[in-house]
A and B are shown apart, each in its own frame.
Chain A
Amino acid sequence: MRTDDLIADLSSRLEPSRPSALTQVLALAVLAGFVGSTILMLSVLGLRHDFTRAIVSFGMWTKLVYTFAIAVFAFWLVERAGRPGADTAQPARILVLPIFAIALLAAAQLLAPGADVRHLILGYSSRVCAFLVTFTSLPTMAATFWGLRRMAPTRLTLAGLGAGLFAGATGAFVYSFHCTESSAPFIGIWYSLGILLSAAIGGFLGPRLLRW
């Protein structure tokens, strides 16, 4: 086909489209992913037995705020990565904020007088925590990739990393409702590791699943 004919053809098939439509699609996808991760956590792992007491504890809120902050910034990163030519450095840079905050809090708890360093770091579940976070993130991972595929990612590894990071943080947020750990060093190490593992999976899958 001649290029001029192609242009005429494309122009004749133009329909109006709203730029915010794609953000809505992505938001819907991650909402579905969040619901999926929650169902997975509730059905396989179960809500923590002392939930009503825990929900008002400092440890619980450390987990929720930390993972929620990463999820919000990672969502921003994914939304940018899905649009050609958009700046992704800004959302990527701001991700150090929650990491810095948890590191500071962890240091404070470790350095407090009489701190049981070993227990603060290892808790009861350090062996499984990271893997369960990644496991919980899988439905969100699938949904985020589905949403990204409808956008136009041009840097596929970066887009996949963002999707994995977002899924990992969402998975960790949901996993918080099962896990009984509450120390900042534990969260800073094992939750972050689970999120990183999820991000690595996303980065690996990006170039394979996001091509268009």
Chain B
Amino acid sequence: MIAQEAQYRNWMVAALMGDASAYRMLLGGLTRHLRSYYARRLDPAAAEDAVQETLIAIHTRRASYDPALPFTAWVYGIARYKLIDEYRRHKRRATVPLDEAGDLFGHDEAQEAIARRDVVKLLEKLPPAKRQLVKDIKLDGVSVAEAAKRTGMSESAVKVTVHRALKSLGEDLRAKDMSDGEGRNADR
């Protein structure tokens, strides 16, 4: 049994009867699991889109939840379906291993907060304008169009800037790894 089952199920049952605040808490809680689930399987922009699409699917298809059945399995069924949909759209592999609902609910953002702190530290190497852009789009789920509007840049310029910034960070990391590696070898 998944730990969050009882809590989420109660919220869902309340939501089905029209309790908006229970519904908001439910969606907020699910978002944390969904972000983590998709982040491990899709690139960041696609992952946030998939989170939103799944939330919309949960909303529009909520009547398909039968309170006699496990709620976490229901959400997982939808999340997995949306993942396959995403893969199909990008003509990637069309099958998803049949892992279990535990995989969705075994992770959430709290564990990833630590990883996120590391990322934020890494981002400090970037100039402020670029850093803000990368943070907005890759970490906070702001759309490219919205970021473009905020900064006054064109959408393609935003994409190129983010892409280059990530590439330079990647090179930094690799260079650091390599020098670490050499350092260890030298110790031996």
Take A14-B15, A152-B78 as given contacts and tell me if A83 and B69 are in contact as well, using a CB distance cutoff of 8 Å: yes
Asked if A53 is an interface residue, CB under 8 A from chain B, the answer is no
In the complex, the answer to whether A85 meets B73 with C-beta atoms within 8 Å is yes
Q: Distance (Å) between the CB of A146 and the closest chain B CB?
A: 15
User: What CA separation (Å) do A1 and B21 show in the bound complex?
Assistant: 21
Cβ 8 A contact of A85, one of B24, B75, B142: B75
Which of A5-13, A39-47, A192-200 forms part of the interface with chain B?
A: A5-13
Comparing A16-24, A65-73, A167-175, the segment that makes contact with chain B is: A16-24
Chain B, Cβ-Cβ closest to A156: B81
- B105 near A: Cβ within 8 Å? no
Bound-complex Cα distance A15 to B81 (A): 24
Cβ A8 vs Cβ B18 within 8 A: no
Q: Give A2 to B20 CA distance when docked, in angstroms.
A: 19
The reply to whether the CB of B10 lies closer than 8 angstroms to some CB of chain A is: no
- Report B-chain residues with C-beta under 8 Å of the C-beta of A12: 20
CB pair B70–A3 under 8 Å, yes or no, is no
Q: Any chain A CB within 8 A of the CB of B16?
A: yes
Q: Which of B16, B21, B23, B81 contacts A84 (CB 8 A)?
A: B81
Number of interface residues of A (CB under 8 A): 29
A7 touches B70 (CB 8 A): no
**A16 and B17 in contact (CB under 8 A), knowing A3-B31, A3-B52?**
yes
Cβ–Cβ < 8 Å partners of A82 in chain B? 64
Complex Cα distance, B61 from A10, in Å, reads 12
Inter-chain contacts of A8 with B (CB < 8 A): 24
B143: interface (CB < 8 Å): yes
Contact B20 A11, beta carbon cutoff 8 Å: yes
Which one, A6, A13, A19, A212, contacts B65 given CB within 8 A?
A19
A-side interface residues toward B, CB under 8 Å?
1-3, 6-8, 10-19, 21-22, 82-87, 151-152, 154, 211-212
Given contacts A85-B77, A212-B57, 16 further A-B contacts (CB under 8 A): A2-B140, A2-B141, A3-B48, A6-B55, A6-B56, A7-B27, A11-B20, A11-B24, A14-B59, A15-B18, A21-B63, A83-B77, A84-B64, A85-B76, A86-B77, A154-B80
27 examples of A-B residue contacts, CB within 8 angstroms:
A1-B143, A2-B140, A3-B51, A7-B24, A7-B55, A8-B24, A10-B23, A10-B55, A12-B20, A14-B18, A14-B23, A15-B18, A17-B16, A17-B62, A19-B16, A19-B67, A21-B63, A83-B74, A84-B77, A84-B81, A85-B70, A85-B75, A85-B78, A86-B73, A152-B57, A152-B61, A212-B57
